């Protein structure tokens, strides 16, 4: 069946004649003689094309009024072909303004073959429009899904500025360089760029450059031809070509060798890649670079090529560390706790604003990732969540951080006598766990796997002041 046709025609002989011909050409047809009957059939039949007469004897509405009703009250995509006897030029204009697909005069010039041609064209157009609408809906849904999966939370001025920069660069289809400490959200920002890029919906791949081995890097990025090296047992398309018309996200780009960076620069400048063992190929790949390196490291020639740096310098966007966007910490903690609480069915009753100072007392060196993992840890390990529970975990975190910062291995390797070095470590270790366990000896002993008496002896022999301790 090629399509559905609904006829509204009071001339039964003509209606029958048209119906027979179009049926013969594999269309499904319904015939009606007045407007009431027409609207009754219309709802159920859902035609592709409507053949509409203008003057209808015995009908509540004439053809033009029917057309008016179709335009104003029905948002479905029908194609209407008006077939009529004598109509005035102003009526023809009205028919056109009301959105009819075509107007055909009855009379001696009327040809059913021509009508068939118009029907076929109308149906083709309708299918194309439907496909276009379908694609648009799919595109909008994909965007919504993407935005939900990669929320970019933050209302601090710093993050607002970052979002603005990203939207501006994405909308003009420029390469971008995201820099920032680990966990500040460079990958989140890359996804945000993709959403605002005209390339959204086209391929988008992430390559972690530190995971690429130097020998295979060219083949991974630019592809290779079968037989071009020992293990190349078939042709391979590289990431640049896979993402042509789309976006390639090169994460940790400063971990690439200077040689590999020069090949990337060539690919950007010439919009062309050299396939390993093959020919040059034109590509149109937009690039997002990301690195944990600060600006001063980026301008160090031994880490990042000067020419590549100058090429991208104007498009650097810096993700601020969490400690510099304190306004966001409550928004983020609230988001993570809520998302993990539904995941692990833990109810959270918290007065978050009262926690702000405590949260900001810590520097969050792992940034948003650390905050996220902190929330996850609490949600998994605690049954009841309240401000005190959060404070307790925060204090433990602060203690651990101080311990790792103050007692780096360097402190012990500097002591040239092994016995003294071990003693120094043991002392720091015990002090750390004693403070973590509120100076309770039994609790500390259990936490570190010692007998209570052994711990007590060690405390004495290491000269730890045990006056504030309890058993
Ligand atoms: N603004 C934000 N809103 C919501 N989640 C965020 C935000 N920033 C970071 N995250 C979350 O924090 C975690 C780390 O983010 P991301 O991987 O983007 O950081 P990164 O800067 O790329 O880190 P790295 O340099 O270590 O790869 C992710 O789980 C991410 O979803």
Q: How many A from CA of 136 to the centre of ligand 1?
A: 30
Report which ligand 1 atom has the smallest distance to the Cα of 180: 21
pLDDT(355) > 80: yes
Residue nearest to atom 6 of ligand 1 (CA): 185
Which value does ipTM take for this structure? 0.99
pLDDT(13) > 90: yes
Report which ligand 1 atom has the smallest distance to the Cα of 328: 1
Q: Model pTM? A: 0.68
Tell me which residues have their CB closer than 6 angstroms to ligand 1. Answer: 151-154, 180, 182-188, 292, 368-369, 372
Q: How far apart are the C-alpha atoms of 239 and 205, rounded to whole Å?
A: 8
pLDDT(470) > 70: no
The chain-wide mean pLDDT, for the chain, equals 88
Residue nearest to atom 24 of ligand 1 (CA): 182
Which residue of 155, 184, 187, 255 sits with most ligand 1 atoms within 8 Å of its CB, as the best mutation to test the pocket?
Answer: 187
Residues 6+ apart with CB under 8 A from 141: none
Nearest alpha-carbon partner for 397 in 428, 430, 374, 431:
374
Q: How far apart are the C-alpha atoms of 213 and 220, rounded to whole Å?
A: 9
Nearest alpha-carbon partner for 316 in 153, 189, 157:
189
Q: How many A from CA of 182 to the centre of ligand 1?
A: 8
pLDDT(348) > 60: no
Q: How many A from CA of 292 to the centre of ligand 1?
A: 12
Per-residue pLDDT, 405: 65
Per-residue pLDDT, 347: 47
Per-residue HEC secondary structure of 366-397 comes to: CHHHHHHHHHHHHHHHCCCECHHHHHHHHHHH
User: Which domains are present in the chain?
Assistant: 4-129 (3.40.50.2300), 152-320 (3.40.50.300), 333-396 (1.10.8.60), 409-461 (1.10.10.60)
Q: How far apart are the C-alpha atoms of 253 and 310, rounded to whole Å?
A: 15
Q: How confident is the model at residue 361 (pLDDT cuts 50, 70, 90)?
A: confident
Residue nearest to atom 7 of ligand 1 (CA): 185
Q: How far apart are the C-alpha atoms of 431 and 411, rounded to whole Å?
A: 16
Q: What is the dihedral of CA 298, 303, 304, 307, to 10 degrees?
A: 120
Q: How many A from CA of 30 to the centre of ligand 1?
A: 59
Q: How many A from CA of 397 to the centre of ligand 1?
A: 20
* pLDDT tens track for 59-106: 999 999 999 998 887 766 789 999 988 778 888 889 989 989 999 988
47 or 448: which leads in pLDDT: 47
pLDDT(299) > 90: no
Mean pLDDT over residues 375-400, rounded? 86
Nearest alpha-carbon partner for 264 in 277, 279, 248, 242:
248
Q: How many A from CA of 399 to the centre of ligand 1?
A: 24
Alpha helices in 175-288 (DSSP H): 186-196, 217-222, 239-242, 258-270
Which residue of 188, 209, 372 sits with most ligand 1 atoms within 8 Å of its CB, as the best mutation to test the pocket?
Answer: 188
Residue nearest to atom 9 of ligand 1 (CA): 185
Q: Left if phi > 0, otherwise alpha if psi is -120 to 50, otherwise beta: which for 99?
A: left
Q: How confident is the model at residue 195 (pLDDT cuts 50, 70, 90)?
A: very high
Lowest mean pLDDT among 148-162, 173-187, 284-298, 401-415: 401-415
Q: How confident is the model at residue 239 (pLDDT cuts 50, 70, 90)?
A: very high
Q: How many A from CA of 188 to the centre of ligand 1?
A: 6
Q: Is 364 helix (H, G, I), strand (E, B) or coil?
A: coil
């Amino acid at each position: 069946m090629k399509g559905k046709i609904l006829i509204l025609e009071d001339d039964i002989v003509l209606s029958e004649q048209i119906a027979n011909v179009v049926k013969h050409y594999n269309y499904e047809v319904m015939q009606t003689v007045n407007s009431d009957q027409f609207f009754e059939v219309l709802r159920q039949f859902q035609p592709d094309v409507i053949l509409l007469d203008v003057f209808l004897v015995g009908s509540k509405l004439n053809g033009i009024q029917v057309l008016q009703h179709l335009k104003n009250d029905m948002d479905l995509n029908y194609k209407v072909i008006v077939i009529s006897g004598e109509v005035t030029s102003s009526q023809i204009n009205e028919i056109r303004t009301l959105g009819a697909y075509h107007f055909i005069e009855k009379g001696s010039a009327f040809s059913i073959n021509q009508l068939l041609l118009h029907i076929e064209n109308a149906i083709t157009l309708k299918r194309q429009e439907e496909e276009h609408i379908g694609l648009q809906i799919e595109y909008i849904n994909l965007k919504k899904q993407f935005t939900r999966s990669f929320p970019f939370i933050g209302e601090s001025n710093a993050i607002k500025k970052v979002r603005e920069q990203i939207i501006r660069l994405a909308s003009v289809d420029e390469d971008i360089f995201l820099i920032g400490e680990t966990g500040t959200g460079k990958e989140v920002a890359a996804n945000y760029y993709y959403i605002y890029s005209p390339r959204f919906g086209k391929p988008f791949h992430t390559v972690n450059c530190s995971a690429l081995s130097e020998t295979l890097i060219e083949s991974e990025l630019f592809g290779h031809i079968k037989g071009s090296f020992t293990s190349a047992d078939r042709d391979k398309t590289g990431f640049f070509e896979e993402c042509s018309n789309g976006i390639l996200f090169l994460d940790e780009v400063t971990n690439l060798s200077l040689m590999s960076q020069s090949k990337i620069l060539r690919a950007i400048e010439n919009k062309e890649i050299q396939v390993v063992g093959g020919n040059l190929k034109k590509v149109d790949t937009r690039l997002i670079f990301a690195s944990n390196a600060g600006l001063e490291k980026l301008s160090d020639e031994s880490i990042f090529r000067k020419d590549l740096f100058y090429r991208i310098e104007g498009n650097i966007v810096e993700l601020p560390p969490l400690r510099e966007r304190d306004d966001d910490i409550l928004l983020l903690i609230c988001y993570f706790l809520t998302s993990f609480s539904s995941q692990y069915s833990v109810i959270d009753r918290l007065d978050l604003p009262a926690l702000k100072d405590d949260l900001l007392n810590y520097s969050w060196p792992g940034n948003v990732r650390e905050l996220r993992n902190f929330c996850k840890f609490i949600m998994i390990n605690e049954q009841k969540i309240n401000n005190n529970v959060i404070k307790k975990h925060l204090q433990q975190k602060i203690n651990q951080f101080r311990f790792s910062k103050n007692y780096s291995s360097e402190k012990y390797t500097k002591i040239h006598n092994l016995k003294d070095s071990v003693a120094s470590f043991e002392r720091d270790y015990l002090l750390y766990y004693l403070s973590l366990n509120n100076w309770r000896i039994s609790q500390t002993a259990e936490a570190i796997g010692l007998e209570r008496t052994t711990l007590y002896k060690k405390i004495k022999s290491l000269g730890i002041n045990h006056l504030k301790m309890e058993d």
